[in-house]
Chain A
Amino acid sequence: MPTDNDDHIDRRTVLKYAGTAGAVGLAGCSGNGGDGGDGEDGMDGGDGEDGMDGEDGEDGGDAFELGVTMGQMDSGLDPQDHAETNTEIIVGQAYEGLLDRDKEGGIIAGLADDWERTDDGSVRFTLRDGVTFHNGDDLTAEDVRFSIRRIVFEDVGIASPQSNDLGVVDEVTAGDGEVTVSFEGYNPIAFQLFATNGEIVQQSWVEENGGDYINRNANGTGPFRVTEYNSGTEVLYEPNEDYWDGAPAVNELRMSASSESSTRVNQLLAEETDIVTNVPPNEVSRVNNSDVASINSVPSARIIFLQMRYDVEPFSSQQFRQALNHAVDVESIIENVLNGFGNITAQPTLEGHVGYNPDIEPYPYDPDEAERLVEESGHAGVEITLETPIGRYLRDVDIAQAAANQIDSLSNVSCEVEQREFSSLVQDVTAPDIEDRPHFNLLGWGNGEFDGSQTLTPLLSSSGALTVLENEELDGLLTDAEATEDPDERVGILQEANQLAHDLAPWVFMHQQFSVYGVSSDISWVPRSDEFIDPDTATQQ
């Protein structure tokens, strides 16, 4: 049992009952005030892009405590041995990568303050001076080399589930204050990949400690240090006073989880926590009507769609696939099922991501046109089943049921829903052979790289890990995009690919999911579109 449990005895409760000076001592005082976050530095652009201006520096307020409650805790603190968002949020407070992203998804400097592409297509990062790990040691180029190699090469410690996340890395070389990464072939999105992935660990610390220790302790360079780790329950942090960008304003951070969404909302309304994730639409008004908190939502980098396999009837018919796009009233689903928390989509790439084509309009809701196209496809009278995961995406089952009802209401198609446990559906969706994959299913896809290719290639290219389509023209465009060194030209190719994907209609294009947070009125915090939570940017109201 941790002896410093006193820190998280609920202050309100203790004060309420005990009401003595002693109780205040027991609960632990807030202690010395943090300096408040300094403004971010202006960032130099790399990769031939224009230099990005840094955000204006904000004055930090007084020190304060902040609680974040998510649906699920981390799966261990090793920043390179996981592949899911909750763990990323928890380890990402303590660890950082070479590059980072701003709230809108733009690339900004991280541990590297300059980055460029060399003549041979490799990428070179110049490390920021004066960065130290939480144990006080300096960050070195060797640490960076080791970290990247630990992710991509299986023989460096672990088989990391992130091994594909940095592209096909050939070698990493460490120089004096700089690190060069070379790839097998040209990697046009190297910087996008490094801005989302590739957290840096200290080589000696990792080599000296076993996996069990690394998963329970942290030694990164990030804005917060882990002070207490209770597996599956909560993680406590203190600000890293030596942080290169200035210590955050938050004086004590607590991250915890409640799997029940109603419990999370109740915690927020009882003022036991400050930020809660995934507030269900039916709880939104309860939060907004309270005096103590409100809803803060942001379009996320996750797209929801109904995918149809190109090689099985009736989905092999492009007309039939287009018919289903006309049959589903996405606007009404967003309005009625999601309480407005969604943006309608018309292509696999989301607005704001590289390769988004602004000229593509969503398929209009038109049941008559849908029926006509079904007749034309020669599949009138067909019976189809939509498989949906249960509880994986915001109101997934309700969305699937609404869409299936609308399809079913066509005079010449009947459609029913089959609810699947997510893990079991994933097993089928990722089956090595396309013949083993579901014919028609709901799926969501998060694109943390903000680049169209990171959705198009895995989901719609012939060799994609989860593909439902095989189309030479689309494959050709994606191959061209991969080899194109001119960023503008590449955007043009991806836009063309998106137009083609819209016309081929391998998906019923649904919506962009929103991240819906409940936020205490005591703080001011703007959520990010990549689902990461950054309490170091929160300030006291």
Chain B
Amino acid sequence: MIRALLVLAVIFSGLAAVLTRGRDSLADVLRTTTVSDLTNGLFAKHVDKAIFNAVPRSSALEGIVTGLEYRVLGDAGPLVRAGCGDWLYTIEELRAERHDRDNMALRAELLRRLTRAIRLAGSRLVIVPVPDKAEQVEAELCGVTAVQSRLRDQFWNELDHLEGAFVVDLRNDWPKPGYWKTDTHWDQIGAHFAARQIAKAVTRTLGPGQDAVRLVDRSIRQRSGDLARLAGLTEAPRSLAPAPEQEREVKLEVSRSGGLLDDTPEPEIILAGSSFSLNSGFVEYLQASLSREVAQISQPGGGFAGALLETLDKRAGSLENVKAVIWEWPMRSLVFPPSDAEKNFMRRTR
């Protein structure tokens, strides 16, 4: 009898939590449900989510278990590969998929068409493929080699010359490691190096910039890496998780000579990148290296060409006065399956 009661206590306490903590969200779901939601499974999806959120869970316990799994087994979950010495890598850089070659071929074509589209819009395109962290910090991978990164490199090297575009090869002289330990992005040294290399390429075509921009280093803060978050290690006790890293906040000061109504002209360079362009002070370093202001339109999770395609799609007119478009994308995105925006662009430009 006691045994049965024990189990019933678990499920009925869960029910009580669902009915008390999830009452409002469940009521919302019921209020907004349509007939089509019932037939296409959306209703169930919404209720499942409301119930999931209502069931109490202990993030401290989750953190302990995740931390133990990491420390004892060296396991950082299905999305993150744990290397040596608390180095974490996104599994995206290391895995192989059946359709990798097809996706790369598609992107090669996409590259050509985007290059042509930017050229027709009257701008110069500066292409910046960001090397894989797995390739640049391969020594810390522990038992795994960056074979997939090299395959992507090989593909990129064999790609025909892209007429009308400048390619900045960051692999040469990369300041290793140049990446955060617990984050997929370049660290400030890597970001600064990338900014200088890009600035050299841009300056060669547009000439030196004239804006009075100045970098100001500010306080040091702790940085919790995205890979540590993805592995659930930010909830783990300190002794079980990788140590947080230190990041110096970077700020850019621009001395504008605009008039009363701030009639400074719009920047002539835009940065249409991925989350790399939004991390580690990259855009600030870039502007300082260029001595020019840069319009930042990069997108987190933009992948290969998310930001660039959105600009071409929705703000094509804004390219009229732009002299150069810096298009940064991670090398690993070469093998991503095409996004809806990419498919649409390929259809439109057939």
Mutual binders A and B: no
